[in-house]
Chain A
Amino acid sequence: MGLSRRGFLALAAGAVAGALASPIVWKTLDDVTIWTQNWPWIPRLKPGENTFLATTTKMCPSSAGTIVRIVGGRPVTIAGNPEHPLGSNGVTALAGAEVQMLYSPSRVKTPLKRMPDGNFQSISWDEAITLLAGHLKNASRTKDSLLCISGDQHGVTANELLSACAGACGSSRFFLMPGEIQPAARAARLMGADAQPGYDLEKSDYVLMIGANALETWGPVIRNRRAFAEGRPHGEPPATTWTYCSATQVSSAAAVNSWVPVAAGTEAVFALGLAHLLIKNGYAANAPDIAGFAALAAEFPPQRVSALTGAPEALLRKTAVELAASAQPIVLAGSQNNSGAPAATVMAAIALNMLLGVVNKEGGLTFLPWPATLLEHALPRARQLENDLCAELAAIAAGKSPTPNLALIYDANPVYALPDKHKLLKAYASIPFKACITPLMTETAMASDLVLPLPMGLERLDDVCNPYGCGKNVYSLCVPVLPAPLTDARPLDAILSATLAQAQIALPNFADQEAALTGTKPFTIRSLIAARAQKMHAKEQELLKGAAHTDETLAPVSLRFATDILQKAIKPLIQSAASETVRIAPMTRMALGTPDTAIPPFGVKLIRASELKGTELFALVNSNTAARLGLTPGCRVRLCADSGASLELGVNIYDGVMDNAIAVPNGYGHTAFDAFSRGKGRNLADLYSVAVQEGLGSEWKVAGLRLERA
């Protein structure tokens, strides 16, 4: 018997009705809903005993005192330490993410060796030490055959260990990564001070920041910001005045009393314009060459300064009047990309402080004595800062300096951070063997032959000594908050002493008997810290509990204006200011990390929509510049420099950028690290080249910038 069409339809309808009436369909749908909504992994919170440990941030250049919250042995969050002279209740966006960075996907977990196929292979520490010792022994046979680069700008012990190690191998080629402190130390030396310039912001009533983004990136930022906050009671007129001179109206500019637009690279001209107005107003300094300086400053009347820097004449005059009317003014100079302002800019700022009569005065420019050198063979701090990495690599590239056989990189990322990639990195790449001691897999680690994992700042004993910008001597320790590093990492002293021992090179001893009294094994971080604490009359046990040692001793100085040097130094700045029609204005934010950290996972959400969309980085120009150059929001441009370097970027309009300036965010364009930073945007340092002036060190610049539609 066949099934009729009507019968089939009736059966189908009955089946559907039956199925819907039964719980099968609904239960299945319910299960599908539940199971598709289930997490693949459910994090469960783990309670535990709360403990708090005071330390100092090493990852963040603010060198602020911090307090780490530890729950059941796990560090979970970080807060500021208001008891610390460089701390407050708060911390920077970078230091706030330091605990999470312990678990960064970029951590180097074991020693890695580059294989002939170019890939890395995990090796044991014994193999790594043997490999490094072989190269170190080889390098020690020829003078200056070892090149050491340290990224530790604010520490003293690690740098001393490294430079002593280099010295024991017969090399004085120890370099710090470029920063604000080197040109400042150079400027101070040229002006007759063998000491580190400091800034007593806490007691100033007028802070003039020429290029120095002191509320975001310059100097010990948290200390700066505490001084700023204390001078501004809520809802009341500010008790202190802060003026910020830069090409972009970002971060510091949002809260200061006034923002003065000054084109990047012309800050020295602006400072000399102020000096001219002050001298005209009767200001002078007790220096032998004041007449010469006055003559130089007279070359910068307001009209000329305005034409060269882009700063409105009225604002220049207003700033001079405010400086003159303040009881305790102070002038800071710095760069927008933390590569260090040109020495001429710092010299001009020191000259202003001299005119204002605030040198070594409360609330003024102070000079801090250099920290003692404890190890034999180690370069004194002042000598370390004289060494100029960019100038050295440029000399290697030009064949004026021999190519070293071994490069030892400590907690630094020169491959990402250095400018003039085609020249400097070519010189760097020509070094036959490169060993990188780093906690994270940076661009430099990727370009090395041997990678040695270093504990993170929260996992190792380290120190901070007079970070550039602080107005008095500060020494504090970074203490480990975990019993052992989370990876198979070893501290610097363990790596170096094992390597030197294997290479049969004698470990450097204490330089003097006084320091030798503290310990029998000098070549360790702990014994060096103990010796330094003793020398400073600091309590080591208190330091280990996170307390900072402070000392208000200042170095007596007799400053001169060094007009001849300043005149020579300022010449190229004027030439470039007069010839450039558009200029780069870097924008640097702490939230986006440093070259050594890249963008921390917790920094990603702080990226502004106007800066980055997906992987496209945007340059910001104001409406006037956009109209002049024919740019529209969203269009793409190619920024080209005379050096041949270029960057392709999108364009957004932002009227907080001065005329003829192209603001480019810093901190993007990483090719290493992890998904939080790799492949996002472009690296601004790629556009810069380096100019080395005899006696004045290297200066970063973008010469002959021009725009092309991409």
Chain B
Amino acid sequence: MTAAKNFAITWGMVIDVDKCTGCGACMVACQAENNIAPATDASDKLKALNWLVVYELANKKPFPEHDVAYLPRPCQQCGNPPCVSVCPVTATDKNEEGGIVSQVTPRCIGCRYCMAACPFHARYFNWFDPVWPKGMEKTLTPDVSVRPRGVVEKCTFCHHRWMAAKDKAIVEGRNPNELADGEYVPACAQMCPNGAIVFGDLKNSDHAIYQILRAASAKGIAFQLLSRTHKKDRRPNPEPQVYYLSRRKWVRDLASFRLPKTRD
């Protein structure tokens, strides 16, 4: 596995699991912002299409020691994305400043190799035509093309919002690569009523996310999904650009997906 790609701007997310109550406002915001069609029955979670899912985590202890947490899961925008290397048509790539893993749906042939490769189940296949109730197509935003059936799609960190923020900076005569904190925020981060999702440039010390992540890492409460937990861990590390915070150890342990100790 090669090293993670390096970018001067690295858009990232810090999700404070301890502040999330699993209300799903982020999922609704994502659907509206990215023109994701509603479904009349989404109880079959294998067929339901979401760019962002809020998972319910439990510490697996019986009542009254039971504890619960909610974990919103957008595309992790891996520094070393397993989906990119398997795409036969380069429909998904990580080659743009900002480090967002692209998804070019007109180029996608629907082979779903990327879905198999993604360890986070963050990619979704359009099994069906997207259908909006009559008239509801008028609420489609002009920012994100509607995808046909037969292609894979995923969270783009609301990439169009970045484009809009850059355009605005250019019009105002500012450097589009030096956006201020909060100028570009994905819909889920904006809409979280608990302020559980912080978004910004992981490498820009003027952005709140930079300080939050440093402070939390120093305390050992920041983690990435599927992160390596010890040096002997040989599993590939996708190095996500999405970080989570939790003061609860069981949440961190669950996210690291540490395997039981085996004989070396």
A478 to chain B, nearest CB (A): 18
Q: Are B68 and A656 in contact (CB under 8 A)?
A: yes
A43 at the A/B interface (Cβ < 8 Å)? yes
Of the residues A76, A249, A601, contact of B66 by C-beta under 8 Å: A249
Known: A613-B43, A624-B63. A99 touches B32 (CB 8 A): yes
30 sampled A-B residue pairs with Cβ under 8 A: A37-B149, A40-B129, A43-B132, A43-B140, A75-B139, A76-B140, A79-B29, A80-B193, A93-B28, A96-B32, A103-B134, A103-B139, A225-B21, A232-B19, A234-B14, A234-B16, A250-B22, A251-B22, A254-B22, A255-B194, A486-B135, A591-B24, A601-B136, A604-B40, A607-B42, A608-B56, A610-B56, A612-B43, A624-B63, A657-B63
Which of A44-52, A159-167, A295-303, A576-584 lies at the interface?
A44-52
CB distance from B145 to the nearest CB of A (A): 7
Segment from B1-9, B85-93, B95-103, B213-221 that makes contact with A: B213-221
Q: Mark B1-41, 1 if CB is under 8 A from A, else 0.
A: 00000000000001010111111110111011101001111
Number of interface residues of A (CB under 8 A): 84
- Residues of A with Cβ closer than 8 Å to B? 37, 39-43, 45-48, 69, 71, 74-80, 88-93, 96-97, 99-100, 102-105, 215-216, 221-222, 225-226, 228-230, 232, 234-237, 249-255, 261, 312, 486, 589-591, 601-610, 612-614, 622-624, 655-659, 674-676
**B25 vs chain A, min Cβ distance (A):** 5
Q: Which of B27, B62, B129, B191 contacts A79 (CB 8 A)?
A: B191
Q: Does B150 have its Cβ within 8 Å of any Cβ on chain A? A: yes
Q: A655 near B62 (CB under 8 angstroms)? A: yes
B interface majority secondary structure: loop
Number of interface residues of B (CB under 8 A): 76
Whether A235 contacts B215 in the complex (CB less than 8 A), given A93-B24, A254-B22, comes out as yes
Contacts A37-B150, A77-B141, A614-B43; A624 near B62 (Cβ below 8 A): yes
Query: What 0/1 readout, one digit per residue, does chain B (37-60) give for beta carbons within 8 Å of chain A?
Result: 011111101001010001010101
A239 CB to nearest B CB, Å: 13
Establish whether residues B28 and A602, one from each chain, have CB atoms under 8 Å apart when the complex forms: yes
Complex Cα spacing A656 to B33, Å: 33
**What residue in chain B is nearest A609 (Cβ atoms)?**
B45
Chain A hits for B191, CB < 8 A? 79-80, 89-91, 96
B245 at the interface (CB under 8 A from A): yes
* A91 cross-chain contacts in B, Cβ below 8 A: 25, 191, 193
Q: Which residues of B contact A75 (CB under 8 A)?
A: 139
Cβ of B133 under 8 Å from chain A: yes
- Does B169 sit within 8 A of A, measured CB to CB? no
Q: Quick check: A601 and B16 within 8 Å, CB to CB?
A: no
Question: Which chain A residue has the least Cβ–Cβ distance from B197?
Answer: A90
CA–CA, A655 to B196, complex, Å? Answer: 25
Are B129 and A675 neighbours in the complex by a CB distance under 8 Å?
A: no
B28 contacts A603, C-beta separation under 8 Å: yes
From A39, A90, A237, B25 is in contact (CB under 8 Å) with: A90
Tell me whether B39 and A604 are in contact (CB under 8 A). Answer: yes
Residues in B whose Cβ lies below 8 Å from that of A71: 141-142
A676 to B33, CA, bound (A): 20
Known: A79-B190, A604-B39. A251 touches B195 (CB 8 A): no
Given known A-B contacts A261-B64, A622-B63, A45 and B146 have beta carbons under 8 A apart: yes
B139 and A74 form a contact (CB under 8 A)? yes
Chain A hits for B190, CB < 8 A: 79-80, 89-90
Question: B29 — nearest CB in chain A belongs to which residue?
Answer: A96
